[in-house]
């Protein structure tokens, strides 16, 4: 159909997804390995796999409604919805089970405004949100673990354990901010009761700790360029799949 977005025209990819054609091809390769393009019974997909991957990436990037997104790809609203439901879980990052010796990780929680009130609660941003514990590799700055979504009013200490992030990390050295006391994570030094200031070596340690931990904030800033994480309309597991998308 003329006038629709297609992966066969590379000029469409970056404006609607922020991805390079090479990155999109990698996503398509991942999907093929997971059997997304296998022959199945019933009516075949109206779009080739490359265009279906582009549709999902465009949805997460722009957060357009199905009414807006479907005509851009020349499909019905229900077809676009089925494509997202099918491919979204396949693109979600699987938690890494092993880490190389000497690896240092960084964890922090981020809130995602979520319309599905079954999994969300009002949080400090005054919106119904879900709390996501995100763990990155301190060296590569790549996301390695995304915990299960919890209600947005859950504090990070509890969310760290209840989301499964703690179990996924195991005994790997992990840096966190001061909101994780008593968790065994590496957090900044605090003044004890009656103490007016920290020792110089503790201040220096806190300074370097802050500089390294800021890397996870940079990752969050990059993730939030995907507008689906600013107002997620997906239900159930959808918000988890959107946060854990591989291309980030």
The domain tally of the chain equals 2
Q: Give phi and psi for 103, each to the nearest 5.
A: -65, 140
Task: With a cut of 80, say whether residue 208 has pLDDT above it.
Answer: yes
Residue ending a domain, among 48, 65, 91, is 91
The answer as to whether 5 is a domain residue is no
- Token pair, residue 88, equals 């979204």
- Give every CB contact of residue 229 below 8 A, 6+ residues apart in sequence: 112, 223, 242, 243
Domain co-membership, 118 together with 203: yes
- Assess if residue 1 is contained within a domain: no
Same domain, 111 and 39: no
29 domain-assigned: yes
**Residue 195 and residue 166 share a domain:** yes
For the segment 39-60, the average pLDDT, to the nearest whole number, is 89
16 domain-assigned: yes
The answer to whether 198 and 188 have CB atoms below 8 angstroms apart is no
Last residue within a domain, chosen from 46, 62, 91? 91
Tens of pLDDT, residues 209-218: 999 999 999 9
Residue 167: per-residue pLDDT: 93
pLDDT of residue 79: 94
Alpha carbon distance 23, 13 (integer Å): 10
Q: Which domain holds residue 75?
A: 10-91
pLDDT for 247 beyond 70: no
Q: Do 122 and 87 fall into the same domain?
A: no
Same domain, 121 and 183: yes
Task: Tell me whether residue 73 is in a domain.
Answer: yes
For range 129-152, the mean pLDDT: 94
Distances (CA, A) of 239 to 129, 147, 214, 242: 10, 12, 24, 5
Point out the domain boundary residue: 91, 117, 151: 91
157-205 pLDDT, tens digit each: 999 999 999 999 999 999 999 999 999 999 999 888 877 888 888 899 9
One domain, residues 111 and 35: no
| Residue 228 Cα distances to 52, 133, 202, 204, angstroms | 17, 17, 40, 39
> Is the pLDDT assigned to residue 248 strictly greater than 60?
no
Q: Is residue 4 part of a domain?
A: no
This prediction has a pTM of: 0.88
Beta strands in 4-49 (DSSP E): none
**Residue with more model confidence, 128 or 195:** 128
Do 131 and 225 fall within a single domain?
Answer: yes
Answer yes or no: is pLDDT of 37 > 90: no
């Amino acid at each position: 159909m003329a006038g629709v977005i297609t992966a066969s025209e590379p000029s469409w990819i970056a404006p609607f997804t922020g991805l390079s054609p090479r990155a999109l091809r990698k996503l398509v390769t991942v999907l093929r390995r997971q059997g997304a393009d296998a022959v199945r019974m019933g009516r075949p997909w109206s779009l080739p796999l490359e265009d279906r991957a582009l549709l999902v990436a465009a949805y997460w990037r722009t957060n357009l409604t199905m009414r807006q997104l479907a005509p851009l790809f020349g499909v019905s609203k229900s077809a676009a919805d089925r494509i997202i439901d099918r491919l979204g879980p396949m693109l979600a990052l699987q938690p890494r089970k092993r880490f190389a010796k000497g690896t240092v990780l960084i964890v922090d929680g981020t809130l995602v405004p979520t319309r599905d009130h079954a999994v969300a609660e009002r949080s400090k941003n005054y919106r119904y949100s879900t709390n996501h514990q995100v763990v990155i590799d301190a060296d590569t700055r790549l996301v390695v673990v995304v915990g299960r979504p919890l209600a947005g009013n859950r504090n990070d200490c509890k969310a760290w354990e209840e989301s499964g992030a703690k179990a996924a990390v195991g005994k790997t050295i992990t840096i966190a901010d001061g909101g994780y006391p008593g968790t065994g994570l590496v957090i900044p030094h605090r003044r004890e009761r009656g103490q007016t200031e920290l020792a110089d070596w503790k201040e220096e340690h806190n300074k370097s700790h802050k500089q390294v931990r800021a890397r996870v904030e940079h990752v969050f800033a990059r993730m939030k360029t995907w507008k689906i994480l600013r107002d997620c309309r997906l239900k159930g597991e959808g918000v988890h799949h959107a946060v854990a998308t591989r291309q980030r």
